[in-house]
Amino acid sequence: AGFCSAVCVEVPSETEAVQGTHMKLLCISCMKREEVTASTVVEWFYRPEGGKDEPIYEYRKTNHEFPSRFSGRLQWNGSKDMQDVSITVLNVTLNDSGVYTCNITREFEFEIHRPVFTSSRLIHLTVVEEAGEDFTSVISEIMMYILLVFLTLWLLIEMVYCYRKVSKAEEAAQENATDYLAIPSENKENCAVPVEE
């Protein structure tokens, strides 16, 4: 992205759309001398794969949509200062895949002369039937499953450790009880505390 002024940033448009949704074709052209009044003309063209450019939309003080496959499906999304001259394609179809060109012509109104500046943006749009999974979400799912497996194994290890500890304690208690029972009864009597009269 290139910074042209304090309020204008040129950013690339999205290049993939899902069939049946609305797709904004982003075209931003920052004015290099925004303090100077300029008249702006915007022309949008569409070129199917292996075809030729055909005009589909124009802004020349007023909006004008050319008869095309997009008739009734184009919407102006430009800003008042004419730095954002984007359009939106409504109800995108698979046949809308192709190359979109945004041509901007500006005539600056100086006192002595009226210089003209032109710029152009190309958008290669691909329309898909369904939205593909985002790479970040796929990585997140994988990490979640790895964490679940790790926690399950850790829980099993803890359960086995605790079970063995309890078993050893029970065995030790059983051995003590067996040792006590193995002492002869006379020795057990000697163990009694004498009572004073």
Please check the confidence at residue 15 and state whether its pLDDT lies above 80. Answer: yes
Fold for 16-128, please state it.
Immunoglobulin-like (2.60.40)
What pLDDT, on a 0 to 100 scale, did the predictor assign at position 36? 66
Please check the confidence at residue 12 and state whether its pLDDT lies above 80. Answer: no
Per domain, the residue ranges of the chain are 16-128, 134-174
- Which residues are CB-contacts of 106 (< 8 A; sequence separation ≥ 6)? 31, 38, 39, 40, 41, 116, 117, 118
Question: Identity (one letter) of the amino acid at 171?
Answer: E
Residue 179 gets the label, from left (phi > 0), alpha (psi -120 to 50) or beta, of alpha
Please check the confidence at residue 3 and state whether its pLDDT lies above 80. Answer: no
Measure the CA–CA gap between 48 and 150, rounded to whole angstroms: 51
pLDDT tens sequence across 89-139: 999 999 999 999 999 998 887 778 888 888 899 999 998 887 666 667 778
> What is the dihedral sign for C-alpha 28, 31, 34, 36?
negative
pLDDT tens sequence across 139-191: 888 888 888 888 899 999 989 888 888 888 888 777 776 766 666 655 555 55
**Encoding tokens for residue 87?**
């359009």
The answer to whether 65 touches 57, Cβ cutoff 8 Å, is yes
What pLDDT, on a 0 to 100 scale, did the predictor assign at position 5? 42
Work out the pLDDT band at 54, boundaries 50, 70, 90. Answer: very high
Q: Between 4 and 81, where is the model more confident? A: 81
pTM (two decimals): 0.60
User: Nearest CA to 56 among 123, 112, 101, 1?
Assistant: 101
β-strand partners of 117: 106
In degrees, rounded to 5, the angle at the alpha carbon of residue 166 between the alpha carbons of residues 163 and 168 is 110
